[in-house]
Chains A and B, each alone.
Chain A
Amino acid sequence: MALDRYEWLGRLAGRIPEDALVMSTYIGAVSFEWAHHTEEHHRSAHLGQMGDVIGLALGLALALPHRRIVCLDGDGSVLMELGQLVAMGEQQPGNLVVFVVDNGVYESIGWSSQGRRPTATAGQVDLAAIAAGCGVPYTVDVTAEDELDAEIDLAFSRNVCSFVNVRTLPGHSHVRPRRTDGIEDKYRFVRYVERLEGIWITGVPPQDIALMKGKKH
């Protein structure tokens, strides 16, 4: 069995903690539909690409250990760089939860009369089992509708590094593509984190700081 992506991303969006940060894929149906469900909220960084989404989320989780970090990735992306799971299993940040939209195909490249091009998870590969083998403390392979809500609530109810693989039906985006690029996405996420955490991520040039000397305001 498998779940409908648009529908289950909507359920996840409805359950995500208010103060969480999200590392999502950059382009493709997951990004478009997540942005739609979350009304382009700036807590989501649509910055991850093939093979780096979990790595980015892991770095963010280690930098902000008090903050819930949610990662949204796809099976093709996870498969491209399995070394990310090794690092996740070694570090085990309790504030990191990875959700994988595992539809068993390379969705974003399109399809022909022969259908979609399969990923390795359409065959024998089990990403949750690989994550478990890498030492990720909690892993699960969700295949049924009635399992998903319980797994989401479990992930957000405790501080355990988790890998939730969701077997998902293939299918093109139900919503329009996003219009932003990585530069705009980065700045709006960085400014959101700066406000949320009370920190500066991008700096001020020293020469500009010197210009402020003697100013009253």
Chain B
Amino acid sequence: MAMTAAALDAAHDGLRAAGIDFVSGLPDGWQRPLHERVEFDDDIRYVPVCNEGVGFSICAGAWLGGKKPALIMENSGIRVASEYIARISLGTGVPVTLLCSYRGDVGETEHWGIPHGIVAEPLLQALRVKYLIVRHVEDLAKSIVRAKRIAEAQLHPAAVLVSGDCVWED
């Protein structure tokens, strides 16, 4: 199960429309096609990592060098990245756009995704990360643009959680 072809196009369009030129991340089942797409986008520097905390630090460093970074990951990665979101962004004010699969959302089929759904939103709230939950493909691109916009305005991360019709065609 991966994001739909329409959602893939919308997510890629959203990243480009937002001016994202630097992406780090760890691929997951849902957003794997987006990693594959971004890796070959000549306008985006793609940096794969082995954990999302490292990816967040790399994105933050890239922002300090003038890039517009996004971190693409499963929502379980928010837990891993939270240490560095707190240290770097709560401590110094650095914006990174977070694009996360919302495993454990209503409709989930996998038992292992349930804990990810339980933790994700309270953790984002604790980290003062504003977020949009996108369950309709037509909302995806503009939500990425808006998340990046407020991240830049508040100098702190903002997130898009992807689920619903972006993944399931039931």
Chain B residues within 8 Å of A, Cβ to Cβ: 22, 24, 45, 47-51, 53-54, 56-67, 69, 83-84, 87-88, 91-94, 152-153, 155
Contacts and interface: CB of A to CB of B under 8 A. Distances in A.
A45 B24 CA distance: 22
Given A56-B58, A63-B63, A193-B64, 8 more contacts: A52-B88, A55-B56, A62-B61, A64-B66, A81-B54, A84-B54, A87-B54, A203-B152
Contacts of A90: 48
Contact of A185 (B63, B69, B92): B92
B94 A87 contact: no
B49, B54, B60, B62, most chain A CB atoms within 10 A: B54
A201 B66 contact: yes
A83 to B, nearest CB: 4
B14 to A, nearest CB: 19
A54 to B, nearest CB: 8
In which size bucket is the chain A interface? 35 or more
Contacts of A84: 54, 57
B22, B57, B69, most chain A CB atoms within 10 A: B57
A63 B83 contact: no
A143 to B, nearest CB: 28
- Majority SS of interface residues in chain B? helix
Contacts of A197: 66
Interface in A151-182: 181-182
A70 to B, nearest CB: 13
A57 B50 contact: no
Contacts of A56: 57-58, 60-61, 64, 88
Contacts of A183: 92-93
A60 B69 CA distance: 11
Leading 10 A-B pairs by shortest Cβ distance: A59-B61, A55-B57, A63-B65, A182-B92, A56-B61, A59-B62, A59-B58, A52-B57, A60-B61, A63-B62
Contacts of B93: 182-183, 186
A70 B131 CA distance: 35
A83 B54 contact: yes
Interface of A: 23, 26, 45, 47, 49-52, 54-64, 67, 81, 83-84, 86-87, 90-91, 181-183, 185-186, 189-190, 193-194, 197, 199-203, 205
Given A56-B60, A87-B58, A186 B65 contact: no
A64 B53 CA distance: 21
A62 B84 CA distance: 19
Nearest to A134: B50
B84 to A, nearest CB: 5
A26, A45, A58, most chain B CB atoms within 10 A: A58
B47 A49 contact: no
A189 B88 CA distance: 14
A153 to B, nearest CB: 26
Given A51-B53, A52-B88, A55-B58, A201 B48 contact: no
